[in-house]
Amino acid sequence: MSRRDRSLYLWQEFYAWFPVHPSDESDVFWLETVWRRLSPVSGQWEYRSFRDDTAKQLEMMTRVL
């Protein structure tokens, strides 16, 4: 496996220009920055936001209904 292939398994910053559902979130992210990597088990892209609980609560409080 080349160095380039191994780098796909590391988390990389990604601008979600299409809707994605991060595994650590309950909502869909679209047109914002998330993290992604190629899953070594399934071979599919995985997405995460890596936001802490404080950031999630702040976003929920400022969300317009």
Q: What average pLDDT score do residues 42-65 get?
A: 89
| Residue pLDDT, tens place only, 11-51 | 999 999 999 999 998 889 999 999 999 999 999 999 999 99
Site of tokens 């950031």: 55
Contact 15, 33 (CB under 8 A): yes
Domain range annotation of the chain = 3-62
- Residue 2 in this model has a pLDDT that exceeds 70: no
* Cα gap 27→37, rounded to integer Å: 19
Report field, pTM of the whole predicted structure over 0.75: yes
